[in-house]
Structure 1
């Protein structure tokens, strides 16, 4: 055999060996990828080829962290000890000093290792918790975390936070950056906002406590499990956890913040003890939205009390959920509310079970599930998020091109939700018989969701409503359904032996179905009392109210009436009142309306609402049921010597137009508070009180109005927009007008007289004043120095007469013009 032939055979064997080795390597790689949940090698390679080039199109934000040698050693010790023990312990994990640089600006901060488990210290991608000092910050945040994108499942947490924010739920800022640590490129990181005032500002919320159930004892239980120590640990239960606020140091120094936290703790404990229902303690609609959205996103692993975070709204005195750590996206087999309903609340129930046993909250939950489970919801959401999602994806692809957002899980979960809400049969119905004019039906539940009985149909007639309780409980897992009895008034004519069908729906669902009643009795000897419905006030029994023929309008009868209990008007109505009319609120009673209130008095006979005894907010307009209009209405506050802890008028999330209205008070209580509202006041007068108008993220127009005698500040605006025309702010003991948190205000032909500052502008707010007069004992107009997370404030003064200790005090970094010419910083505002 020639040498040439031998050489060719060697080459062929080598090539075949390499091919075989390549096939084997591909097989092993494919199996390894599939074990980790990836579709396989082919998809993996396709993702690299298709996604990695997309990262070239953007330059992600760069954040650099620098720590000294001693600080680095302390961090490294925490990392080393965590890797040895298998968990990150709080002992020794203290904050160290650091300098952070972003976009050419450097600020001082404190950092520490963040997290509990060792995935936070794996390799060189350590997780950090950062607290910026003073006016430092990053992307508007002073408190935030930096961690491996996989900690929150890459792009899925980004979508979770964006959807939650779109639903009006307090959500964290979350995104992706490139991180440098002591000059070393650590690659792509996820940033996640932590809990502080900036979170509330970003979500248009007034200041209030952010809190949780302290998970410290629960994590001790987890540590015991990891170390093989197992015994009955009562301290690890939800019922044993203390309510723990974020920023307790700052709260303890602020009497109002302390009182707000005490209220939040009291409400939460009353809920845990089953003394108050969830719908009275929480913003039930927002809780329901969050729970329903977690079903769609596949975030059931986050439904643990130790992961729940909360915000207390001190204005409406209710608790809101905060979107945190979704653990999405996982396929679901049922919904979070399935098999939860017990028909009662009990202190032994955990957080989520107690939520799902509130009828108001459960109805809202099902309503939002119907909405979120439509395919168009995810379609429209992803379409709206597409530009920002493309940027976030391209950033992630710079290091993880195989971590795409696969929306197929969302659509699959939507299909499961639709199936759960559309069981082929809701219950078995049996004809128990007739007693007098009452027909009894036994219903045996077979599903996982409570059923609401709307009525019974005799043949083809209209349904006859149920008498008494209307909710059919669920069938418990692994057990037969327990029968419940429902009674109906027999109309004249129908025979009880004719065909009967029960009209029902899943509690809170919009789709009504009918179930045929079997023509025989359920003779099992078990008697079950009907489940009581949620009690409601009978508005028709009140002597000062009457209803229109269509039952949609409530009329306030003329005369003088005393109200000694809260008058609560539900949504879907209209309340009307005309002069002569006087309402006297006694014993802390309030008027709370989720429907529009239309009041019309006259100059000679104004409508009067008097609250001589003080207390919290007297009149509350809230919800989204439409705009209220008042003409010639007088609100009279507490008499001298009485206390007033809340605003005389609170407007939350609705519109109100007032014309020729008057507010008077002889105490230090607030007068008008507007939160995310639209308020217009024409030719109105406000006299006395403390903060006469407090606006939070609202749109306010004041025209030909007079504010006088404020014992503190006159108008305080946080965010939102104000237009003040031909209006006087007189005899103010504090500050005439305060603008903060990017508020915008325009004053035309206005007058301000204040013992303190005339106008205070800070935190990136914008002020325009034209042809007005400002007289103050302090600074006429003070513009606080620029803060990094807000940007500069902008002030334009045109033909304004100003007198004060300093006519205009301008801090560094702002843009202030007086009659078209730039006004340089004075240094005075920087010292404030």
Structure 2
């Protein structure tokens, strides 16, 4: 009996201990679960699963390593900035100077300068300080010369990674953003996020022409924020959007570069006119990209980044349009309303908020809703994730090395899609009241109750008859906290209309889905007069007697004959400009032909269309953002401009974002550039280019040339910057510069090329690749030059196969890391090939 008592006691103690341990673990789990959920995490179970699953997965790849070394004196300066920021609660620019640093990355070692980055103290918490890095000379990291390093949580881990990738896929200028491991003075700081800053490399990477990058200067706004943090509250008019100056990134470089400064002045002028209400948003901004950006911000729940102090821009100097640049998204929040909701009042005016001005532009709003419909389809998000899956897996694995619990929660994006669809299809957009009839009209008073503008398409009668409104009608939104302002809509009617059973056919402005709203059979007394819609722009083409505008066929025809164009002609978008021989068009008195419509010009084999300038004073012919494919056949362009180093436009003739096929055409003159094509598809066949300085320049375009002759170039014949070029049966003779030049990672292939009597046959720089199979090179000062390998681009490669070379004054020269081969054998002398 005595032996059983200790056993019972032990069992009792074991049971009590087990219960106590269970209670402790349960309580701990409950508290931990509550804490995690309070911070926005799904809970403890998901947290443990993520840690167990994701951390081992992180070892599937080794993160990119960036090592930073700063000497002790400069380290003390950085510590001083950090300590002061922690004391004040904000990072002040005073004293936060750049210090010298040595960096080592996957491409090699380089020198740079860096400083503490950011405004608030989240950038200096713990040992993971945020840095702004600017590489010196040819240095750089992953193609970037200017970039930031910061805690991944600063940009919400994988959320900004996804935002920039989606932005790039939508054709928006997007920053390079990802994750890496950082060592600082030998100390492993763990996983950081890198984020590209604003400079020429950003534009090159996004396939854009060089141009100003800028913002609304937030400096005075941050003075206001600092006062708030110090609990000082008073009227501060200097902190408003309307008071902010337009500030260029790299302002010192802009000031030194006449061309860039002039472009920046253009951008400032357009922005000023926009803020004053003198110019519509679509006259200043790239309407489609503004629309895409805001539809995307709705999808990702990134409305915080719409603050005017955070938005960034690029000015396209050829299109004369301002584009948005993707920047910190503050995303992955549940969507409550749309970026364009509660804004449309049907007019733009001075004093409006930036986004109120955007979304009171009809072109922008229509495009915005179109992209909302597209992006809110589940299939769009499914395909986006599928396309990004390999890159997302790689980025996630790097992040999980230190943050295995920071998965990308895809569910928030799918939920936001559902919200977008609901908001685009609310239960009722407006109330409609029967206002009476006259002999030929029916009046309906419409009172908006929704936050989106509605376009009225028709009045539906009880018998199914459909009556169109007398004029285009867009019902403004109801501003939050206010009653909707009544709008009277008139519909054409051939006789009396019964008030019973009427419906309005309508849609959200720009939407593809139409809906019906019942009309109350009684009037709304005291209805206000409908405000006038924005006036459509009057086509400039109607000022010229030699043009025939056919609105039904959407054509603008240049009459045959001999005509003088003595002031600038602007052709609107959405048309086709038609011309046939015989036609002689003389551009005089500084005139310019600018077409936003595609060209369809057809001369004859023995009677070409002639476009020229007898006084060489014109500013040329320029096709910009034309929809569809232009075609030029048997057209001769001659003496349009005189040579000027600061030529206002790139080229006597240019095509920007306007694809074109050119055959049996001729270009000649003394201009700085005879033909310029950019960001488009360009095909030229059986044509000739004579004289001029530079003859053909292509920028980020897809170029195909066949049976084209280039003669007597004052400088270079063919220059390809970015993009690609395919050259077949090309003759280049009697020029002073380079026959074929590639730059900025251009890919040039050629066959059956004949180059004679030129300064040099081939030159490559910035990681370009030139491959020529079959051809001849004769009497040139140099055969080929390959500039040195650049860290951001890689090596230059020039390959010549079955190319006959005779009477060459010079041989082959290549820079460090680059390569020239002839019939598969490496050739040339390694020299420091400098310059552009």
Once residues 546 and 496 of structure 1 are traced to their aligned partners in structure 2, the CA distance between those partners, rounded to angstroms, is 45
Q: 1:208 to 1:826 in 2, by over 3 A?
A: same
**Which aligned pairs between 1:447-458 and structure 2 lie closer than 5 A?**
447-458=450-461
Which residue, out of 663, 666, 682, partners 2:667?
663
Aligned-pair CA distance for 1:725: 3.0
* Aligned counterpart, 1:627: 629
Contact 2:694–2:717 (CA<8 Å) still a contact in 1?
Answer: yes
CA contact (8 A) 1:300 1:336 kept: yes
Alpha-carbon shift at residue 21 of structure 1 (Å): 2.5
> Runs in 1 of length 4+ with deviation above 6 angstroms?
538-542, 547-550
1:385-412: per-residue Cα shift (whole Å, max 9, x none)? 1111111111111111111111111111
Q: Which residue of 2 aligns with 1:822?
A: 826
Deviations 1:89-136 (A, max 9, x none): 111111111111123721111111111111111111111111111111
User: Which stretch shifts more, 165-174 or 426-435?
Assistant: 426-435
8 Å contact kept, 2:143–2:792: yes
1:704 aligns to what SS in structure 2? Answer: strand
Q: Distance in 2 between matches of 1:538 and 1:814?
A: 51
Contact 2:812–2:820 (Cα < 8 Å) also in 1: no
Q: Do residues 121 (structure 1) and 116 (structure 2) align?
A: no
In structure 2, stretches of 5+ residues that fail to align are: none
Q: 1:39/1:723 Cα in 2 relative to 1: closer, same or farther (>3 Å)?
A: closer
Cα distance in 2 for residues equivalent to 1:416 and 1:134: 49
- Which of 502, 505, 514 pairs up with 2:504? 502
Corresponding residue of 2:810: 806
Q: Distance in 2 between matches of 1:131 and 1:158?
A: 21
SS of residue in 2 equivalent to 1:789: coil
Q: Deviation per CA, 1:613-638, whole angstroms, max 9, x where unpaired?
A: 64555230534x43222210122343
- Residue 253 of structure 1: how far off its partner (Å): 2.3
Partner of 2:676: 673
2:451 aligned with 1:444, yes or no?
no
Provide closer, same or farther for how the CA distance between residues 663 and 354 of structure 1 changes in structure 2, counting only shifts above 3 A.
same
Partner residue of 1:579? 581
- More displaced 10-residue stretch of structure 1: 592-601 or 151-160: 592-601
Query: Which deviates more, 722-731 or 760-769?
Result: 722-731
Verify the 8 A CA contact 1:638 1:644 in the aligned structure 2.
no
Task: Indicate how the Cα distance of structure 1 residues 75 and 583 shifts in structure 2: closer, same or farther if over 3 A, else same.
Answer: same
* 1:436-488 deviations in Å (ceiling 9; x for gaps): 43333322111111112223344556644333452211112122111112223
Q: What secondary structure, in the 3-state scheme, does the structure 2 residue paired with 1:106 have?
A: strand
User: Is 2:571–2:597's contact at 8 Å kept on the other side of the alignment?
Assistant: no
Write the distance in 1 (CA, Å) between the matches of 2:472 and 2:107.
Answer: 66
**In 1, Cα distance between the equivalents of 2:218 and 2:637?**
47
**Map of 1:790 onto structure 2:** 793
Instruction: State whether residues 560 and 581 of structure 1, in contact with CA within 8 Å, keep that contact through their aligned partners in structure 2.
Output: yes
Q: Please give the secondary structure, in 2, of the residue aligned with 1:139.
A: coil
Given that 2:286 and 2:323 are in contact with CA atoms closer than 8 Å, whether structure 1 keeps it comes out as yes
CA distance in 2, matches of 1:525, 1:312: 44
CA contact 2:318–2:656 (8 Å) conserved in 1:
no
Tell whether the 8 Å contact from 1:468 to 1:530 is kept in structure 2 after alignment: no
Count of aligned pairs between the two proteins: 827
- Find the counterpart in structure 1 of residue 111 from structure 2: 108
Please say which of residues 144-153 and 103-112 is displaced more in the overlay.
Answer: 103-112
- 1:129-208 superposed matches below 5 A: 129-208=132-211
CA change 1:549–1:274 in 2 (3 A) is closer
Counterpart CA distance in 2 for 1:262 and 1:25 is 62
Contact 1:702 1:724 in 2 (8 A): yes
In structure 2, the CA distance between the partners of 1:639 and 1:176, relative to structure 1 (3 Å rule), is: closer
Match of 2:339 among 332, 336, 339: 336
Kept in 1, the 8 Å contact 2:641–2:652? The answer is no
Once the two structures are TM-superposed, the CA of residue 298 in structure 1 deviates from its matched residue by 0.2
2: distance between equivalents of 1:545 and 1:746?
41
1:509-588 to 2 correspondence within 5 Å?
Answer: 509-524=511-526, 526-537=528-539, 544=546, 551=553, 555-562=557-564, 564=567, 566-571=569-574, 573-585=575-587
Deviates more, 1:235-244 or 1:676-685: 676-685
Equivalent residue of 2:520, what SS?
Answer: coil
Change in 2 beyond 3 A, CA 1:542/1:458: farther
In structure 2, the CA distance between the partners of 1:611 and 1:512, relative to structure 1 (3 Å rule), is: farther
Which of 623, 628, 638 in structure 1 is aligned with 2:640?
638
Distance 1:104 1:552 in 2: 54
1:33 aligns with 2:36: yes
How far did 1:516 drift? 3.3
Between 1:223-232 and 1:538-547, the stretch displaced more is: 538-547
Residue correspondence of structure 1 range 457-476 to structure 2 within 5 A = 457-460=460-463, 463-476=466-479
Q: 1:775 to 1:444 in 2, by over 3 A?
A: farther
Please report how far the alpha carbon of residue 497 of structure 1 lies from its aligned counterpart in structure 2 after TM superposition: 5.4
Partner of residue 607, structure 1: 609
Write the deviation string for residues 195-219 of structure 1: whole angstroms up to 9, x where unpaired.
1111111101111111111111111
When residues 104 and 677 of structure 1 are mapped into structure 2, their CA distance, relative to the original with a 3 A threshold, is closer
Aligned pair partner of 1:238 in 230, 238, 241:
241
* CA distance 1:611–1:488, change in 2 (3 Å): farther
Any residues of structure 2 matched to 1:295-444 within 5 Å, and which? 295-444=298-447
Are the counterparts in 2 of residues 617 and 645 from structure 1 also a CA contact under 8 Å?
Answer: no
TM-aligned CA deviation for residue 57 of structure 1? 1.2
| Aligned-partner Cα distance in 1 for 2:289–2:619 | 24
Q: CA deviation at 1:715?
A: 2.5
Question: How many angstroms does 1:698 deviate by?
Answer: 1.3
The separation in 2 between residues aligned to 1:659 and 1:91, in whole angstroms, is 61
Deviation at 1:746, TM superposition (A): 2.9
> For residues 123 and 618 of structure 1, what CA distance do their matches in structure 2 show?
59
Asked if 1 retains the 8 angstrom alpha-carbon contact of 2:570 and 2:593, the reply is yes
SS in 2 for 1:250: helix
1:653 matched to 2:640? The reply is: no
- Name which of structure 1's ranges 68-77 and 587-596 shifts more when overlaid on structure 2: 587-596
Q: Unaligned stretches of 5+ in structure 1?
A: none
Distance (whole Å) between structure 2 residues aligned to residue 47 and residue 772 of structure 1: 63
Q: 2: distance between equivalents of 1:549 and 1:286? A: 28
Partner of 1:18: 21
Greater displacement, 305-314 / 721-730: 721-730
Give the alignment of 1:66-105 within 5 angstroms. 66-103=69-106, 105=108
Task: Return the offset for 1:187.
Answer: 1.0
- Structure 2 distance, partners of 1:462, 1:561, is 50
Check conservation: 1:469, 1:533, Cα contact below 8 A: no
Say what the alpha-carbon RMSD is for the aligned residues. 2.7
Q: For residue 682 of structure 1, what is the aligned residue in structure 2?
A: 685
